[in-house]
């Protein structure tokens, strides 16, 4: 679900503005969770992310967050503190 | 983390062109903003936020960070802390501070 955009180096979002899709591997789990929850509630507005997050349960969001938090290219310094 | 790892990550970042996107940006000017306005929450190194709900920003794409900061300025994205910090910054400030944090080594990756 996430790999098509977030795991391609240099991949760019084309709508509504052109910019690089953020790196999420190694991001803090809590932040990924809060971002997905904000999309789900409509507090964040990216069209693609809103649709994706709307279909996720809280459990799925937590699982995705834990998975990507563990993907970091360095030892997870503060990933789960 | 040891020094070799830091160097390796920095070299990989340079090789991958992560930090060259914002060639016109002034990293040193960005450092001043970063160290005075961002470091308290995101960590001086951009990868040790004081709260796990705050994102790591070291090594993130600069154009993504400029986009996010712009959204905080317009209110398209809402956060009481980030709104207050982003609003007074100029477009050049956003580009400089994004270039600075993007240039720092960090754990963020595309890895599946």
What is the SS3 string spanning B8-47?
HHHHHHHHHCCCCCCCCCCHHHHHHHHHHHHHHHHCCCCC
Report yes or no on A15 lying in a domain.
Answer: yes
Report yes or no on A65 lying in a domain.
Answer: yes
φ, ψ (nearest 5 deg) of residue B95: -65, -40
The count of structural domains within chain A is 1
Is there a contact between B5 and A19 if contact means CB atoms under 8 Å apart?
A: no
Q: With bands split at pLDDT 50, 70 and 90, how would you rate the model's confidence at B95?
A: very high
pLDDT at A57 over 90: yes
Mean pLDDT, chain A, rounded, equals: 87
Report yes or no on A75 lying in a domain.
Answer: no
- Beta-bridge partners for B109: A25
Q: Identify the H or E element spanning A19.
A: strand A19-20
Residue B29, min C-alpha distance to chain A (Å): 22
**Domain residue limits at A37:** 3-69
* Per-domain boundaries in chain B: 3-103
Question: ω before A74 within 30° of 0 (cis)?
Answer: no
Best interface-test mutation with A: which of B76, B83, B99, B108 has the largest number of A CBs within 10 A? B108
Lookup result for tokens 């920095």: B10
Report ipTM for this prediction: 0.84
Q: Does A22 touch chain B (CB under 8 A)?
A: yes
Report yes or no on A25 lying in a domain.
Answer: yes
In chain A, residues with a C-beta closer than 8 Å to the C-beta of B110 are: 6-9, 23, 25
Here the tokens at position A41 are 């509630």
Q: Does A48 touch chain B (CB under 8 A)?
A: no
Is there a contact between A25 and B110 if contact means CB atoms under 8 Å apart?
A: yes
Assign residue A29 the CATH number of its domain: 1.10.760.10
Here the tokens at position B91 are 């477009």
Please tell me the pTM assigned to this model: 0.81
Q: Does A25 touch chain B (CB under 8 A)?
A: yes
CATH fold of the domain at B3-103 = Cytochrome Bc1 Complex; Chain D, domain 2 (1.10.760)
Q: What is the structure's pLDDT at A15? A: 64
pLDDT at B16 over 60: no
């Amino acid at each position: 679900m996430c790999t098509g955009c977030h795991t391609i180096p240099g991949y760019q979002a084309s709508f509504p503005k052109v910019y690089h899709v953020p790196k999420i591997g190694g991001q803090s789990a809590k932040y990924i969770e809060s971002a997905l929850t904000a999309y789900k509630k409509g507090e964040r507005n990216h069209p693609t992310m809103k649709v994706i997050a709307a279909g996720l349960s809280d459990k799925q969001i937590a699982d995705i967050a834990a998975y990507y938090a563990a993907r970091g290219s360095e030892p997870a310094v503060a990933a789960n503190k | 983390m040891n020094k070799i790892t830091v160097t390796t990550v920095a070299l990989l970042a340079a090789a991958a062109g992560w930090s060259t996107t914002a060639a016109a940006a002034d990293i040193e000017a960005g450092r001043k903003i970063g160290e005075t306005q961002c470091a308290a929450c995101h960590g001086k190194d951009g990868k040790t936020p004081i709260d796990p709900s705050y994102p790591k920003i070291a090594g993130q794409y600069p154009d993504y960070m400029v986009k996010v900061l712009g959204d905080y300025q317009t209110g398209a994205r809402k956060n009481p802390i980030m709104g207050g910090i982003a609003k007074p910054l100029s477009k050049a400030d956003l580009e400089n501070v994004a270039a600075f944090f993007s240039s720092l080594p960090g754990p963020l990756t595309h890895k599946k």
